[in-house]
Amino acid sequence: MIKNSEFIDKLRSSGLRPTKQRLKICELLFNRDNTFHFTINDLAKNISRQLNEKISLATVYNTVHAFKNKGYLKEISINSDKSYFDTNTTNHHHFFDQDTNELIDCTDDEIETPKIKKNILGKKINSVEVLIKVATDNQNQK
């Protein structure tokens, strides 16, 4: 259980003012045991369920992007219709369950990280990410 004052410090130290909206979002995102995968929509719904006063959708977008830019969140691309975010910002891979549209972290015992043997000339590798799409056996592939 992370204390509110810790979030305040965290925000301040990265040059973000600790507003009550940002603190609420911190609480929702980072006060949990497991990695959280979400879309902005998920998060917005979550907030309005838990809060009597609402946070504007624009603020949710702003905050999530601010957190991403500060390195507190990672953006994951699965399909083009929406963005997923991940509270696990370490370099890791994902399963994507096509039945439920759920994103699941892939642990080191589940995958052997791919080795890049040759890179594009003059370019730096910024990330290497594996996405494993799974579905129940009788499901047709998307």
Partner DNA sequence: TTATACATTATAACAATTCTAAACTATTGA
Partner DNA sequence: TCAATAGTTTAGAATTGTTATAATGTATAA
Binding region for DNA (CB under 7 A):
12, 15-22, 39-41, 54-59, 61-63, 65, 80-83
- Nearest to residue 96, comparing CAs of 73, 74, 77? 77
Chain residues that interact with a second copy, rule: CB under 8 A: 75, 77-83, 93, 95, 97-99, 104, 109-120, 122-137, 139, 141-142
C-alpha distances in Å from residue 114, one per residue of 108, 111, 124: 12, 9, 17
**Helices 57-69 and 20-30 meet at what angle, rounded to 10?**
70
Least separation in angstroms between CB 19 and DNA: 3
- Looking at beta carbons only, is 119 or 141 nearer to DNA? 141
Question: Which is closer to a second copy, CB of 30 or CB of 95?
Answer: 95
**Residue 1 DSSP label:** -
CB of 2 to DNA, least distance (A): 18
We find the least distance from the C-beta atom of residue 116 to DNA, in angstroms, to be 28
Tokens, residue 126: 């910024």
Q: Which is nearer to a second copy, 50 or 77 (CB)?
A: 77
* Smallest separation, CB 119 to a second copy (Å): 7
Largest distance between two CA atoms of the chain: 54
Rounded CA separation 21/132 (Å)? 35
